[in-house]
Amino acid sequence: MLLAVFEELERNKKNIRWLSEGLKAAIKEYNTVWMNELRLTDTGLSRYYGEGFGIPPETEPGHFNHILEPYAKKYKLSIDEFIKKYNSREIIEPKLDKYFIHDRSLRESGHDTSYRLINISASLNTVDLNSLLYKYEKDIEFIIKEYFDDSFTYSKNVTYKSSFWRKKSLIRKKLINKYLWDNIKGVFSDYNFEKSRLTGFESATSFYTMWSKLAEKKQAQSLVNNLLPHLEAPGGILSTSKKSCGKISSTRPQRQWDYPFGWAPHQIIIWKALANYGYSNICERLAYKWLYTITKNAVDYNGTIPEKFDVIERTHKIFAEYGNVGTDFDYITREGFGWMNASFQLGKKYISDKNISNLNKLIPPEWIF
C-alpha cells in the first residue's frame, strides 16, 4: 500500500520524507509484530496470533452459544452467567482458552470467520500471511534501492541495504515452497505446523502467491488448472470451495468467509494475480462476472451496494453470521461499500470496451464467455 500510494505522488522532498516515515513504520511492524516470538514459528514462517483472554467483544450476541453451551451446562449456569465468570477468570477452561486464541487469531487475519481457520488459526502458517510478508520484503527491497540510493537509515544504529531484504524474500520463498506447496494436488495450502501437514483447504487465498509474484510460472499454471475451477462461480470467485466448506447444520453454522460467498478483496487480488502471469482472458471473465453481479443487484434493488455477495446465486441476500452490511434498512450505505466500490472501478480496467458495453446492457456473463 505504501509503495502503491507513493507511486501516485509527485517526486519531491516532501513526499520522499513521507515515504521514509511510512517505510520506518512498515519495517517496525514487520520486525515487532510478524517476526516476534509469538508469530514467528519454528518453520521460519509466520502465523496469525491473537493475544489475550476471554470472549471477543466485537461479535454479535449468541455468536458463540453453540461453543459455550456445554461449558455452561457443566457448571450449571446460564450462558450469560458462564460468560461473566469466564471473562473474569473466575472459571478457567484451558481448552476453551485455546479455542479463543484461535478465534482472535482468525479475526487478526481479517477472515472472520471461516472453517479454514476456526479452532486452528494459531497453528497455521497460512498462504495469505506469508505471501503478504513476501510482498513486504520485495517492496521494501525495491523502495530502498530505487528511492534511497540503496541505503536506508532506519534508526541511529540501523541502516538497511536492499540486499538485506532480498535475502529475506528468497528465504521466505524457499520456505513457502518447502512447507506450503502441495506437490500432489499442485496448489499452495496452509500448513499446520503442530501436526506437520498441509490442511488441503481450498481457498481463494492460495492465489496470493500469484498476486505477490512469488509463484513460479509452472505453479501459477497449476493453480489455474487445479484450484480455480473449484472457486469460480456464476458471480465471481468463491472465498472457499464447497467441498472444503463442508456440511452446514445447526451445530455447524454458515460462515461468511466460506462458500457460497464472494468478497471484493479476493476478487481484486485474483484479478491482479492472473494479470501478473498473462491470464488476461480468464481475468476478464472473472471481472465481468463480479461487476455484473454488482450492477444487477444495484439495478434490481434501488442502488444497493453490500459488503459481499452470494456468488452462486448472484445475490446480496445472505443468511449467515453478521448478515450483509449495506443491505438492511437500518444500515443502508448510500455512498456504497468501500471495497465494493473499489472493486468496481478496478474491475473495469480488466474488461474490454465491448464488454463494458455489454455490462451496461446487463448481458449475463454466460451469454458472453
Active-site residues: which are they? 112, 307
Range 14-35 burial, b when 16+ CB lie within 10 A, else e: eeeeebbebbeebbeebeeebe
User: What is the H or E stretch that residue 271 is in?
Assistant: helix 264-276
Q: Report yes or no: 251 and 214 within 8 Å, Cβ to Cβ.
A: no
What is the distance between the alpha carbons of residues 256 and 111, in angstroms, rounded to a whole number?
A: 9
> Looking at residue 34, what DSSP letter applies?
I
Cα 143 to Cα 30: distance, rounded to the nearest angstrom: 15
Residue 160 contacts residue 168 (beta carbons within 8 Å):
no
What does DSSP assign to residue 69?
H
Place of cell 517496525: 28
Amino acid sitting at position 54 = G
Residue whose C-alpha cell reads 460462515 in the numeric block:
255
All 3 cell numbers of residue 87? Answer: 471473562
Q: How far apart are CA 16 and CA 40, in angstroms?
A: 31
Residue count of the chain: 369
Residue 133: phi and psi, rounded to 5, are: -70, -35
Strands (E) across 30-164 are located at 124-125, 152-153, 159-160
CA distance 198 to 195: 9
Count CA atoms closer than 13 A to 160's CA, side-chain side: 24
Q: Which three cell numbers stand for residue 326?
A: 449495506
145 touches 162 (CB < 8 A): yes
